[in-house]
Amino acid sequence: MDKVLEVKELSKQYTKVLAVDKVSFDIAPGEIFALIGPNGAGKTTTIRMISTLLTPTSGDAIVAGNSIVKAPKKVRESITYLPDEAGAYKNMKGIEYLRFMAGLFTNDPKKVNEYVERAKSINKLGERLNDKLGSYSRGMIRKVLLSRAVMTQPKLAILDEPTSGLDVLNAIEIRKTIKQLAAEEGMSFLLSSHNMLEIEFVSDRVGIIAKGHLLVTGRTDELKARYNAANLEEVFERVVNGNEIL
């Protein structure tokens, strides 16, 4: 089957830093791919370029057949992006926020209802959706934002550190939701995370990035065997510390 995402030698030069250097990888339909790497490795920069929020210096990425450089508007129709530090409209009730966001995608009131119902079934916040977002815990806000991000059934959901700062139980719930959406609806995911346990559980394949270089990609079990490592954390440490180009 065709790839949902093909990243081709994508690079970003900020004024002083080459943040992303010829990064290439792809994601198949229904696949969950995670970028892992130290702080400042280039994860958010890569994600923001693919989300069409940042223009690449060179290279390209093709999302569901459309180029982020040549057809960013088309790309936006098939993706959703959840930023690492997403704020929410504090004075809106949860339910109002979901309706407002659904209304940005369609003018059809039936569709709006459909999207909102879908978001409600994903975030499972029930009656609390009638409270203002300002009164939510961090975990509840992340759940609302995730449900908002996937309510329109995008082909590719791009989530920058989706569970950062959440307690274990909330993080587990979000991971389960992601896996379920991929398995049952064929949605693809591009994630970034610092949590190796999370990545091992949730992703089909990972890419290890450091100093703008994508050093290896592969399935977790393959990488553990290749680096003779007990877990992904060991793989990560061996790849990042043992790499001569860094």
Ligand X SMILES: Nc1ncnc2c1ncn2[C@@H]1O[C@H](COP(=O)(O)OP(=O)(O)OP(=O)(O)O)[C@@H](O)[C@H]1O
Size of the residue set binding ligand X (CB under 6 A): 11
The DSSP symbol for 53 reads: S
Residue type, 133: L
Nearest distance from C-beta of residue 14 to ligand X, angstroms = 3
Query: Is residue 165 a contact point for ligand X (CB under 6 A)?
Result: no
Question: Among ligand X, Mg ion, none, what binds residue 89 when CB lies within 5 to 8 Å by partner kind?
Answer: none
**Contact indicator for 211, 42 with CB cutoff of 8 Å:** yes
Query: Is residue 14 a contact point for ligand X (CB under 6 A)?
Result: yes
H helix or E strand, kind and range, residue 151: none
Question: Among ligand X, Mg ion, none, what binds residue 162 when CB lies within 5 to 8 Å by partner kind?
Answer: none
Instruction: Give 32's strand partners.
Output: 189
Query: Is residue 40 a contact point for ligand X (CB under 6 A)?
Result: yes
**Contact indicator for 149, 118 with CB cutoff of 8 Å:** no
The correct pick among 33, 42, 141, 215 for binding ligand X (CB under 6 A) is: 42
* Tokens, residue 221: 């079990």
The correct pick among 17, 183, 225, 246 for binding ligand X (CB under 6 A) is: 17
The correct pick among 27, 32, 34, 43 for binding ligand X (CB under 6 A) is: 43
Cα distances from 121 to residues 9, 41, 82, 186, 225, in angstroms, run: 39, 35, 19, 18, 39
The correct pick among 36, 37, 66, 141 for binding ligand X (CB under 6 A) is: 37
The correct pick among 5, 25, 44, 178 for binding Mg ion (CB under 5 A) is: 44
Nearest distance from C-beta of residue 217 to ligand X, angstroms = 16
CA distance 82 to 15: 26
Nearest distance from C-beta of residue 123 to Mg ion, angstroms = 24
Query: Is residue 68 a contact point for ligand X (CB under 6 A)?
Result: no
38-46, 88-96, 148-156, 229-237 -> range binding ligand X (CB under 6 A): 38-46
Q: What SS3 state is found at 222?
A: helix
Q: Which of 59, 57, 23 lies closest to 42 in space, CA to CA?
A: 23
Nearest distance from C-beta of residue 160 to Mg ion, angstroms = 6
Report the DSSP pairing between strands 205-210 and 213-218.
antiparallel
Nearest distance from C-beta of residue 195 to ligand X, angstroms = 11
The DSSP symbol for 83 reads: -
Residues of this chain that interact with Mg ion (CB under 5 A) are 43-44
List contacts with ligand X (CB under 6 A).
14, 17, 19, 37, 39-45
